[in-house]
Every structure is written in C-alpha cells, then in structure tokens.
Chain A
Amino acid sequence: MAVSARAKLTLGASAINFPDADPDTTPSIPANENPVTVTAKVRTGVSTTATLTHRSSGDLTAGLGITIPISNVSWTATGAGYVGGTMSSSSNVPAGSWTGSGIYSGAFNYSIANSWTYATGNYTVSTTYTLTAP
C-alpha cells in the first residue's frame, strides 16, 4: 500500500465579523464567531513537520484609501500545535505545526484593536490559511 502525503483544513467559520464598540470601553473587540474551531488533517512522514500559516490579502478596506491596518487584527489559539499571532499581508504568519500524521483540532479567537482613529465605514478583507504537509 502506498500512502501519499495529503492535507485538509476545516474552519468552523468561513467569515468573521467584529461589532462596532466604544474604543474607551472596549479597546479590543472580539469576533462574533469566537471561538472558531479548526481541524487540520495531515498525512506526512513520521518525522516530517506539517505547518499551518495565515496571510491576509491586504488591510481592512472600506473604500479607496480608507483602511484599517491588518496588523490590528490578532488571534489566540487553543489546541496542541496551534499558536496565536498577528495578521500580516506581507508575510505568512505561523498558526500551527505538527510532526507526523494525524488529526489536530483546536480553536482560534480573533480580536481587533479598537481605535478612535478609524474612519466610519464597512471594512472587509479576505485572508488565506495554508496547510502544508511535505
């Protein structure tokens, strides 16, 4: 039997939302969907490390030139192998790693720093998780 490398990532939510709030009373806004479950299924070599990374396509944008830095969004993680981080559009940010095959379950809790400097508007951005099993 030949067993090939493969990987599959499942997130409990395909989109998250941050509600509006007073920056003085809520300096950090948690996402409505927290905690977002995550499951990484991996087949790889017995001593090989599989990695999960995250990258944003850009800043949160509400229109031409109206942005919130994506680095204002961060997450914490639960579950073996998962790690918290701060979002970036310029580099892949580690979100997890595991050695060997298996099913690895965890959860992410996202938050955004709340600031009086934000212009009004509806901000969106798309981001990508990449699970790699060499």
Chain B
Amino acid sequence: MKRLTFIFIFSIVFSVSYGIQSGFSQTLTLTISPSSISFPDADPDVMPSIAANSTVGVRVRVRGNAGNNWRLTHLASGDLSPSIPISNISWTVTPQPPFINGTMSRTVAQIAAQGVGNLDPARTGTFTYRIANLWSYNTGNFSVTTTFTLSAP
C-alpha cells in the first residue's frame, strides 16, 4: 500500500506538502493549503456554529492505479487541547464525489475522499470546517494537529 500523509494543524501555522512515487510508477500526490486554520471566538447564542477563518483546498492526484481503490482520510491526533472534543468539528466539501463530508475523530480515520483507478488530472476539494460553539467551553487557547492520509494499494 502506498501512503502519503499531510500534517494539518488547527490554530497553529505549519506548512508541509510532499509526494511519494513507487517503483511501479504509481504516484500519489497530496497538497493542502493553507496548512492551518483557526476559529474566531463568538457568542454561542448568536453563532452556534463557527466557520473557520478559511476554507482548505485539498488537491489529490492518483496515477498508475488502474482498477485499484484509493482513499483520502483525515485523523486528529486528539481533542482540541485541553478540553474541546474533536468531534465538535465537522466539514463540508465540494465537489462530491470524490470528496465526502465528515466529522473529525481522534480514534478512527474519517474518509474525506475515495475512488477507483486514477484521479488524473488532479482534483481539488474545497473543505469548509465548522466547530459547534458551546457555552460549556472553558476559556483558553485550543489547538490540535490532524493528519490527511492519501493511500492506494
């Protein structure tokens, strides 16, 4: 299995992008921009759901993968430290397919896109992240690192 990972950090500026090419000309390319997003503070009664300060463009290209499945997943390293459940963050994305709406998890990699065969030319999904805004949140600065993984057999 070929696997390409991309670290994505909420509330912290961090930028990484790279690809892997196998010996059988199978190439997976994953590019994400920006590499971090943040959520503004807001009154939970006025804004029960807060959109991130930016959408995230996720560019996926799959080559040399004829007839095989490929999958893009997204996994958080934990909750928004120290105390906001990561499941309070969800995303919507276009275009669908191959991209898929989802809710973030720290235990199970969530499928963000999938397909069969090649994806060439590359497709870019525009992800819009939102966090549920609750009165139960304690004050502080919260952050988490998440990882996109593009894989194919």
Query: For the complex, what is the distance from the CA of A109 to the CA of B5, rounded to whole Å?
Result: 60
| C-alpha gap A103/B135 in the complex (Å) | 7
A6 near B141: Cβ-Cβ < 8 Å: no
Q: Is B139's CB under 8 angstroms from A101's CB?
A: yes
> Within 8 Å of chain A (Cβ to Cβ): is B24?
no
**Residues in chain A near residue B142, CB distance under 8 A:** 1-3
CB distance from B115 to the nearest CB of A (A): 32
Cβ of B143 < 8 Å from any Cβ of A?
yes
Residues of A within 8 A of B141 (CB): 1-3
Interface residue ranges of B29-70 to A (CB < 8 Å): 38-39, 41, 43-45
Is the interface on chain B under 10, 10 to 19, 20 to 34, or 35 or more residues? 20 to 34
Pairwise interchain contact A2-B138, C-beta atoms closer than 8 A: no
Which residues of B are found within 8 Å of A46, using beta-carbon distances?
Answer: 83, 138
- Residue A114 at the chain B interface, CB threshold 8 Å: no
B22 close to chain A: CB less than 8 A: no
Among residues 108 to 153 in chain B, which have CB atoms less than 8 Å away from a CB atom of chain A?
131, 135-143
Whether A1 lies near B136 (C-beta < 8 A) is no
- Min CB gap A23→B, angstroms: 44
Q: Which of A1, A41, A42 contacts B39 (CB 8 A)?
A: A1
Q: Give complex CA distance A2, B40 in Å.
A: 7
User: Is the pair B41, A2 in contact by a Cβ cutoff of 8 Å?
Assistant: yes
B-contacting residues, A90-107, CB 8 Å: 100-103
